[in-house]
Amino acid sequence: MATPIKTNPVHDAFPVTSYYDDQPVECSNGLTKREYFAALALQGLLANPACWEDRAPMIAVLCADRLIEALNGDKLRTEL
């Protein structure tokens, strides 16, 4: 059975590989996976007219953390 791949929240959401002297070099430009997941969650929260805008960023980050836990197969916490 294959080893499951873990989602690291500090890895780049959109990594770019460049080449220097024919060797691959990872370039870091942009958002981490955690930041990207939180931005998507925030977009969804703010699309709801009933959303409390002052709490939305905190909820978005918590949602991103829970998604990373779920992707990694970690034990999910039920509180948000």
Residue 36: inside a domain, yes or no?
yes
Q: Is residue 5 part of a domain?
A: no
Q: Whole-prediction pTM value?
A: 0.70
Q: Say if 75 falls within a structural domain.
A: yes
Of 9, 5, 24, 26, the residue nearest 66 (C-alpha): 9
Whether 23 is in a domain gets the answer: no
| Structural domain for 59, as ranges | 31-80
Burial bucket for residue 71 (CB in 10 Å: 0-12, 13-18, 19+): middle
Report pLDDT for 39.
96
| Position 73 in a domain | yes
What total number of domains does the chain contain? 1
pLDDT tens digits, one per residue of 10-38 = 888 887 778 888 888 777 677 899 999 99
Mean pLDDT of the chain: 84
Query: Does some domain include residue 8?
Result: no
Distance between CA atoms of residues 19 and 34, nearest Å? 26
Token code pair at residue 10: 């500090």
What one-letter code names the amino acid at 57? P
Report if residue 51 sits inside a domain.
yes
pLDDT at 43: 96
Q: Answer yes or no: is 21 within a domain.
A: no
